[in-house]
Structure 1
Amino acid sequence: MDYSATIATPVAPELVGRQIVDDLALWWSTRVDRGADGFTVRFNNSHATFAFDPGATQDRFAWTCTDAHMIMDGVDDVAEWKGTRLIWQITPSDGGSMVTLTHQGLGPHIACFDICQRGWQRFFEISLRDHLNGASAQPETSRPAA
């Protein structure tokens, strides 16, 4: 079973997707390198690169991890995220939107599951939710170790 969670926001569905994509540095990590076809997000000495999947709509889009170097205690394979996908689904709700994130490929069968699930709880379930709801988000701000 892949990681999946849903958050609620008062933001209209037609605006949510843009805020997720355009504001990565405000809710996920302050170290985001953007390109026309994707982005790289950095944490300490770790990084993950995502390509924007074709066929995106304002209510459903996905990103495929094309490169990963995620350094975590107890996890030997630093490239575990490579080939996984972040699938975003935005649905209208009373007074706003429901946002579901599924990290396809992030399940109990990979070593980083517990650590990465806690990461998504922090960055998606709390930081992005707070950002969308007008509260102070908590993106990753760490810098590489010297």
Structure 2
Amino acid sequence: MENRSFTTAFTVDRTPEQTLAAILNVRGWWSEDIRGRTEKAGDIFNYRFRDIHRCTIKIKSVEPASKVVWRVVDNYFSFTEDTTEWKGTEIVFDISEKGGATEVRLTHVGLVPEYECYDACTGGWTTYVNGSLKALIETGKGNPNVGEPMNETEKALAV
């Protein structure tokens, strides 16, 4: 059976180690509104974009300079009938050397065309991965969404 999960990839002129560091800097390329730790296996973080999308992600594994796997443990979309469409899916970043450069391949395992969010989600991943993450790796500055300002309690709890 063919893999119908969403995949996107790009190549950069950086080392696999630099690339891994950028992927783990989720606030630098996806959203500044990430709550929790994002560096190692077992870390759990929360993503939120306004009242449109919230999810809780557990980092399942980090393999030095080669792979990062996230598991979506909870999800909410305001715009789909099944608000939990991502729940139980995995987001895999494969890092490999290709002809003196480094390739990053994101596969959102379980994000399939039958999902109501598919078009919006694949467009979002393409923007954040091929645009913002790639820019972070190449220039040190990504283009994450800014999110909403934290209140004082949230600032104190932010890691």
CA distance in 2, matches of 1:109, 1:143: 31
CA apart distance, 1:78: 1.5
1:53 aligns with 2:56: no
Q: Which residue of 1 aligns with 2:95?
A: 90
Q: Which residue of 2 aligns with 1:111?
A: 116
1:142 aligns with 2:147: yes
CA apart distance, 1:19: 1.6
Structure 1 residues 48 and 121, CA, compared in 2 at 3 Å: closer, same or farther?
same
CA apart distance, 1:96: 2.9
Do the aligned partners of 2:28 and 2:141 also contact (CA within 8 Å) in 1?
no
SS of match in other structure, 1:53: strand
Identity of aligned residues (%): 26
Where structure 1 has 5 or more consecutive residues not aligned to the other structure, the ranges are none
Give the count of matched residue pairs. Answer: 140
Q: Which residue of 1 aligns with 2:107?
A: 102
Q: Structure 1 length normalisation: TM-score?
A: 0.88
Deviations 1:49-78 (A, max 9, x none): 111114x31201211000111223xx1122
Aligned residue among 36, 44, 47 for 1:41: 47
SS of match in other structure, 2:63: coil
1:31 aligns with 2:38: no
Q: Structure 2 length normalisation: TM-score?
A: 0.81
What CA RMSD, in Å, does the superposition of the two structures yield over aligned residues?
Answer: 1.7
